[in-house]
C-alpha cells in the first residue's frame, strides 16, 4: 500500500528522554512489511492526498490549536474521497469533548463534567458545589497535550476566575472534579487495534503534578490490563469505535470500576513499543480494513 502518516509542525516538542519516536518506529515497521510510507504535515499546502491508498492520522498534534483549519482539511479529504483512518466522521465527533455527554447518556461511567460555553463567566463556587468537589480540573473542550489545563483548589479557583473568564471569551471549556487516584494509583490506558485489545500501560504524574503526559515528566509502565477494569474498556470500544484502526481508552479505577476520562480516536500516542505484538497487530488491522 501507499501510506501517508500525517504529522504536524513541531512548534511544541512532545518528545521526552527515553521515549522513542513512535512515528518513525511505525513508518519503519510498515516499510519492512513492504508498504511505501511517506510522512507529511497536514498543514503542508499542495499535497496530492489522492495518491495514497490510505491517510493515517498518526500525530497531527497541533489540530486543536487550528481546529477550524483542521475541520476544513477534513472536508477537503472527504470531498476528494480519500480513505482516512480513523474515519473522518469519527474524528469530527471525537474532536470536541462534548462526546463525553454522548457516552454518559449511553450508560458509560464517565468522569462528571460541566460544560462552560464560550462567552460565559467562570463561577468557581457554583462549579465546586455542582461537582461536589474541593478541587477542579478545568480544560478546553477542544484540547490536547494538557494545554490551558488547570488544577485548582477553592482558593486558586477564585484567584483564576478572571483569567478563565478571559479564556472563555474565545472557546468552550470543561470543568471536572480532580481525581486523587491519578496521583496515588495512576491513569490506565487500554490500546485497541482493529477493534481488538492490544496492550495496556499505567501512566503516573511526576511528584507534585497531576498531568501524566510523558513529555511533562510522567511515567509510563507496561502492565497487564486489570481484569476488573478491562471489560468496561472493551465495551466502550465495541460500541463507539468499531470502525477505527486504533483507539485508546483512558481512565482511572474508582471504587473498583473504570471511570472514563478520554476515548482517544484522533491522534493518540499508542505506546506501540510497549506491546509485544503491537506493530504486527497494527499492520494486520490496517491491511484488513483497507482491503475490506
In this structure, what is the dihedral angle of CA atoms 72, 74, 80, 83, given to the nearest 10 degrees?
A: 180
Residue 207 pLDDT class (50, 70, 90 cuts): low
List of residues 6+ apart from 160 with CB closer than 8 A: 122, 124, 150, 152
The answer to whether the beta carbons of residues 218 and 282 sit under 8 Å apart is no
Residue 18 has pLDDT above 50, yes or no: no
Residue 17 pLDDT class (50, 70, 90 cuts): very low
Q: What is the pLDDT of residues 209-252, one digit of tens each?
A: 554 455 555 678 999 999 999 999 999 999 999 999 999 999 99
Nine-digit cell string for 144? 490536547
Cβ count near 81 (within 10 Å): 8
Residue 19 pLDDT class (50, 70, 90 cuts): very low
Same domain? For 47 and 17 the reply is yes
Same domain? For 104 and 191 the reply is yes
What does the pLDDT read at residue 212? 47
The answer to whether the beta carbons of residues 85 and 57 sit under 8 Å apart is yes
Number of structural domains (the chain) is 3
Final residue of a domain: which of 123, 146, 177?
Answer: 177
84-85/187-193 β-pairing:
unpaired
What does the pLDDT read at residue 185? 87
CA angle 151, 159, 96 (to 5 degrees): 45
Same domain? For 45 and 28 the reply is yes
Same domain? For 265 and 214 the reply is yes
Higher pLDDT, 181 or 11: 181
The answer to whether the beta carbons of residues 146 and 213 sit under 8 Å apart is yes
Tell me the CATH number at 12. 3.40.50.880
Q: What is the pLDDT of residues 250-282, one digit of tens each?
A: 999 999 999 999 999 999 999 999 888 999 999
Q: What is the pLDDT of residues 125-168, one digit of tens each?
A: 999 999 999 999 999 999 877 778 899 999 999 999 999 999 99
Residue 283 in any domain: the answer is: no
Tell me the CATH number at 151. 3.30.1490
CA angle 97, 220, 266 (to 5 degrees): 30
Percent of the chain with pLDDT over 90: 82
C-alpha of 231 from chain center: 20
What does the pLDDT read at residue 286? 97
Tell me the CATH number at 207. 3.30.470.20
Q: What is residue 250's three-state secondary structure? A: strand
Domain that holds residue 7: 2-86
Q: What is the pLDDT of residues 159-193, one digit of tens each?
A: 999 999 999 999 999 999 999 888 888 899 999 99
Residue 73 has pLDDT above 70, yes or no: yes
Tally helices (H) and strands (E) across the chain.
10, 13
Which runs of consecutive H residues, i.e. helices, occur in 160-255?
A: 161-168, 181-184, 230-240
> Which residue reads 507529511 in cell numbers?
40
What does the pLDDT read at residue 112? 95
Distances (CA, A) of 260 to 35, 97, 151, 221, 291: 35, 12, 18, 19, 32
Nine-digit cell string for 247? 483507539
Amino acid at each position: 500500500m501507499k501510506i501517508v502518516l500525517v504529522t504536524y509542525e513541531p512548534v511544541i516538542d512532545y518528545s521526552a528522554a527515553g521515549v522513542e519516536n513512535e512515528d518513525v518506529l511505525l513508518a519503519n515497521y510498515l516499510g519492512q512489511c513492504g508498504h511505501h510510507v511517506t510522512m507529511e504535515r497536514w498543514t503542508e499546502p499542495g499535497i496530492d492526498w489522492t495518491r495514497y491508498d490510505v491517510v493515517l492520522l498518526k500525530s497531527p498534534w497541533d489540530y486543536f490549536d487550528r481546529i477550524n483549519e483542521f475541520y476544513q482539511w477534513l472536508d477537503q479529504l472527504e470531498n476528494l474521497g480519500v480513505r482516512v483512518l480513523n474515519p473522518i466522521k469519527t474524528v469530527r465527533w471525537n474532536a470536541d469533548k462534548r462526546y463525553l455527554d454522548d457516552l454518559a447518556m449511553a450508560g458509560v461511567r464517565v468522569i462528571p463534567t460541566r460544560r462552560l460555553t464560550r462567552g460565559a463567566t467562570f463561577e468557581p463556587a457554583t462549579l465546586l458545589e455542582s461537582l461536589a468537589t474541593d478541587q477542579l480540573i478545568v480544560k478546553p473542550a477542544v484540547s490536547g497535550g494538557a494545554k490551558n489545563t488547570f488544577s485548582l483548589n477553592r482558593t486558586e479557583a477564585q484567584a483564576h476566575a478572571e483569567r478563565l473568564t478571559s479564556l472563555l471569551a474565545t472557546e468552550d471549556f470543561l470543568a471536572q472534579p480532580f481525581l486523587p487516584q491519578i496521583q496515588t494509583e495512576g491513569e490506565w490506558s487500554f490500546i485497541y487495534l482493529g477493534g481488538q485489545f492490544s496492550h495496556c500501560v499505567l501512566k503516573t504524574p511526576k511528584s507534585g503534578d497531576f498531568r501524566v503526559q510523558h513529555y511533562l515528566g510522567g511515567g509510563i509502565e507496561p502492565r497487564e490490563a486489570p481484569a476488573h477494569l478491562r471489560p468496561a474498556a472493551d465495551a466502550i470500544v465495541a460500541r463507539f469505535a468499531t470502525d477505527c484502526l486504533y483507539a485508546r481508552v483512558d481512565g482511572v479505577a474508582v471504587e473498583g470500576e473504570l471511570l472514563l476520562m478520554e476515548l482517544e480516536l484522533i491522534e493518540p500516542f499508542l505506546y506501540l513499543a510497549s506491546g509485544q505484538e503491537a506493530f504486527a497487530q497494527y499492520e494486520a488491522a490496517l491491511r484488513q480494513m483497507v482491503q475490506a
